[in-house]
């Protein structure tokens, strides 16, 4: 990726990211890449200590490193020492990123927009998109190709909806939201009742409400509430392939990572992190700032700030103690056998 004018010096980049320059500040940077794939002109970064040896071998023109990196161990390299190499690299990527795709205002001739739908100023509706009666779309919002916007849906301003997203009837999406391709908002929650006549479907009459500044990854499913709302509050970020069931509430600025699933009526607090492939039981509460480790199975409440691991999920300290217990027992067994042998030899 190239910067708008094609280049920037290492000294200038160090200034922009608030880092300390070590080496040649006149090195010209023209792109970004990983340590093992970088070539001359690229800026790279060390985000994990286990890759520290790659800094010496990389062909990158300059490398962003943390303050704990031993700069003396690398000779002849241009380094930018900073508090957070990951964050600094994100700023570098912005410098070299291509310009964003521009979506011209207007409705594509191949789109279908109901007469009673309301479109704000500068709205883009792409080819083969459908906007149903009563829908309302705010100023500057983009509805990509093949999207479906259902009856009486409300979408705020400056929201970006990538191709092939479905937003079903009566759901509400805020402003500055990003929804990636393949996601469905407002699919029916899993409501069924087994009885003598078979499995009976329970109507799901609620909605989904998406707050401002939310980003939802590709191929997510956010189920409508049985009644009331399924609610993703302001600033929530979802990775790809996340499932949020009916009547779930996700607090502000929480992060739900790939393939995790949240069962119905669970409440997730503000700033929580649910890691990849974790499963959260229904009707429980995950407290503010709590962290659920990847693949964990959570079956009971997690307190604010709690960290849980494993299946069934338990506090990290308890999990580690249980994991090392067999090794501890094996060592004790070996010690007992050694002592028994010494006793037998001394008889």
d(CA 330, CA 66): 40
Cβ atoms of residues 35 and 58 within 8 Å: yes
Active site residue 246: yes
Peptide bond into 312 cis (omega under 30): yes
Tell which phi-psi region holds residue 51, choosing left (phi > 0), alpha (psi between -120 and 50) or beta.
Answer: alpha
Rg, the chain, Cα only = 27
Looking at 180, 231, 243, 246, which residue is catalytic?
A: 246
- CA dihedral angle for residue 294, residue 177, residue 33, residue 50, rounded to 10 degrees: -20
Annotate the chain with three-state secondary structure: CCCCCCCEEHHHHHHHHCCEEECCCCCEECEECCCCCCCCCEEEECCCHHHCHHHHHCCCCEEEEECCCCHHHCCCCCEEEECCHHHHHHHHHHHHCCCCCCCCCEECCCCEECCCCEECCCCEECCCCEECCCCEECCCCEECCCCEECCCCEECCCCEECCCCEECCCCEECCCCEECCCCEEEECCCCEEEECCEEEECCCCCEEEECCCCEECCCCEEECCCCCEEEECCCCEECCCCEECCCCEECCCCEECCCCEECCCCEECCCCEECCCCEECCCCEECCCCEECCCCEECCCECCCCEEECCCCEEHHHHHHHHHHHHHHHHHHHHHHHHHHHHHHCC
Largest CA distance in the chain: 101
Which are the catalytic amino acids? 246
């Amino acid at each position: 990726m190239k910067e708008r004018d094609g280049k920037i010096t290492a000294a200038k980049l160090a200034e922009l990211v608030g880092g300390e320059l070590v080496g040649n500040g006149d090195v010209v940077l023209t792109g970004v890449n990983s340590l093992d794939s970088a070539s001359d002109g690229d800026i790279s970064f060390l985000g994990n200590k286990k890759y520290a040896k790659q800094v010496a071998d990389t062909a990158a023109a300059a490398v962003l490193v943390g303050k704990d990196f031993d700069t003396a161990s690398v000779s002849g390299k241009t380094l930018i020492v900073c508090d957070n190499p990951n964050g600094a690299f994100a700023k570098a990527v912005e410098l070299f990123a291509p310009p964003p795709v521009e979506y011209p205002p207007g409705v594509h001739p191949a789109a279908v927009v109901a007469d009673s739908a309301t479109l704000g100023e500068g709205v883009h509706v792409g080819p083969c998109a459908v906007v149903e009666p009563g829908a309302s779309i705010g100023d500057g919002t983009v509805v990509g190709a093949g999207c479906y916007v259902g009856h009486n849906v409300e979408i705020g301003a400056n929201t970006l909806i990538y191709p092939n997203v479905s937003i079903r009837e009566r759901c509400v999406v805020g402003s500055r939201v990003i929804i990636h391709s393949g996601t469905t908002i407002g699919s029916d929650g899993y409501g069924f009742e087994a009885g003598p006549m078979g499995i009976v479907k329970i109507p799901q009459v609620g909605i989904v409400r998406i707050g401002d500044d939310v980003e939802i990854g590709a191929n997510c499913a956010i189920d409508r509430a049985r009644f009331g709302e399924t609610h993703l509050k302001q600033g929530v970020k979802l990775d790809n392939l996340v499932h949020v069931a009916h009547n779930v509430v996700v607090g502000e600025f929480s992060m739900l990572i790939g393939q995790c699933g949240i069962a119905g009526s669970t409440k997730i607090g503000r700033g929580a992190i649910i890691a990849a492939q974790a499963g959260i039981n229904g009707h429980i509460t995950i407290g503010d700032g709590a962290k659920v480790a990847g693949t964990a199975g959570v079956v009971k409440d997690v307190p604010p700030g709690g960290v849980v691991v494993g299946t069934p999920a338990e506090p990290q300290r308890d999990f580690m103690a249980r994991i090392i217990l067999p090794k501890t027992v094996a060592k004790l067994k070996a010690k007992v056998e050694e002592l028994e042998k010494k006793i037998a030899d001394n008889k």
